Each structure stands twice: as structure tokens, then as C-alpha cells.
Amino acid sequence: MQKNHVRVLPVVKEGRLIGLLSYSDLVRTVFKV
């Protein structure tokens, strides 16, 4: 269980980063910034 936790945490952080990047891209396309 602990090994899985250690493995999942970086993926969650990366997922958040990718989510932020795609979100900013979405905002750019919508508002044409």
C-alpha cells in the first residue's frame, strides 16, 4: 500500500500541472488573450 502511495503522488502532481496547463490554454482560446 505504501509503495502505491509513493508511486501515485508524483502522478497526481503531474496531473495537476497538466490540468493547469490545459486550463490556461482553454482560457486563452476562449478569451483570445
- The DSSP code for 32 is T
Answer yes or no: is pLDDT of 3 > 70: no
**Model pLDDT for residues 9-32, shown as the tens digit of each residue:** 777 788 888 888 888 888 888 887
Sign of the dihedral through C-alpha 20, 22, 26, 27:
positive
Report the pLDDT value the prediction gives residue 4, as an integer from 0 to 100: 62
Residue among 23, 19, 17 nearest 31 (CA): 23
Query: Quick check: pTM over 0.95?
Result: no
Report the pLDDT value the prediction gives residue 21, as an integer from 0 to 100: 85
Report the pLDDT value the prediction gives residue 10, as an integer from 0 to 100: 77
CA angle 18, 21, 26 (to 5 degrees): 125
